[in-house]
Amino acid sequence: MKTKVGRNDPCPCGSGLKYKKCCALKQQQSAVEPLKDAYLRKHRIQLKEPKDIEGIRRCGKLVVETLQAVEAAIRPGMETEEINTIVHKMTVARGAVPAPLNYRGFPKSVCVSVNEVICHGIPGGRVLREGDIVNVDVTSILEGYYADANKTFFVGAPGPEAEKIVRVAAACLRAGISMVRPGNTVGDIGWVIQDLAESEGCSVVREFVGHGVGFEFHEAPQIPHYGQRGQGIPLAPGMVFTIEPMINLGGKELRVLKDNWTAVTRDGSLSAQFEQTLLVTDEGCESLTPYRL
């Protein structure tokens, strides 16, 4: 008596199809967990669908245009408060919400970080001077989707130290992006950034990391800007996260001011940062907040 159904035999369910095209196939499919479910279960990572990606890309376009508007306005003598006003007005005018405003008690609509300020600078009365560097970090919420990007600008003509730290920080984001493709890992990104920064005699901030983004401001996974090749979560198509290396001219140590936000270099050295929101594609990487690096 024949007990095993052959793959080319009629399916025992009576469909009339071959077993391999019917119940055998269904069984096989249900045995392989979809990547989306596996990433959520194992890593708490929400892979994005095409409609989500379109939404984040639209938000990213607004973020990049906001950074361009700020860049055009930057000049010696301006208060950092004016940058907040530009970002707030432009965001609201486009029907979006500035994500930083009231986020965990942050009091303004954008982070503005001058010279030795690493990140999370609160806009206010500080006046930009010729030769300063200023990072502007914009995160918008448009139609429920988040995009997050920042750039460091020169105020007037830079001195050699300002030129160096901005050049190295931009190169670090470029290097990180070059590692983004399916099969590479989160550790590959951190490793290449740390390797480049330290080869230039600069240091990588440890306390703040890149992050998943899109449905919320900060999602899994964390993307450290230091680490080891081949370590950590493998990148998969549909992942959306930031890379945002904070690079110091001196030591990596920081301290947070009494406002509980402003992070500054312990040694007072210059710090620069660049950030983009990135999508892992089948082919590699697409920036959802593209600007020339």
> Pattern 64-103, binding to ligand MF3, x per CB under 6 A?
------------------------------------x--x
Smaller CB separation from ligand MF3, 104 or 258: 104
Q: Which does 103 bind (CB under 5 to 8 A by kind): ligand MF3, Co ion, none?
A: ligand MF3
Maximum distance among all Cα pairs of the chain, rounded to whole angstroms? 93
Reported residue count of the chain is 293
CB closest to ligand MF3, residue no: 100
Instruction: Give me the residue label for tokens 């530009």.
Output: 86
Q: Is 276 in the site for ligand MF3 (CB under 6 A)?
A: no
Q: How far is the CB of 256 from ligand MF3 (least distance, A)?
A: 12
Smaller CB separation from Co ion, 11 or 67: 67
Q: Is 80 in the site for Co ion (CB under 5 A)?
A: no
Smaller CB separation from ligand MF3, 100 or 176: 100
Q: How far is the CB of 3 from Co ion (least distance, A)?
A: 59
By the 8 A CB rule, do 82 and 112 touch? no
- Beta partners for residue 146, in sequence order: 141
CA separation for the pair 66, 138 (Å, rounded): 8
Site for Co ion in 239-258 (CB under 5 A): 242, 244
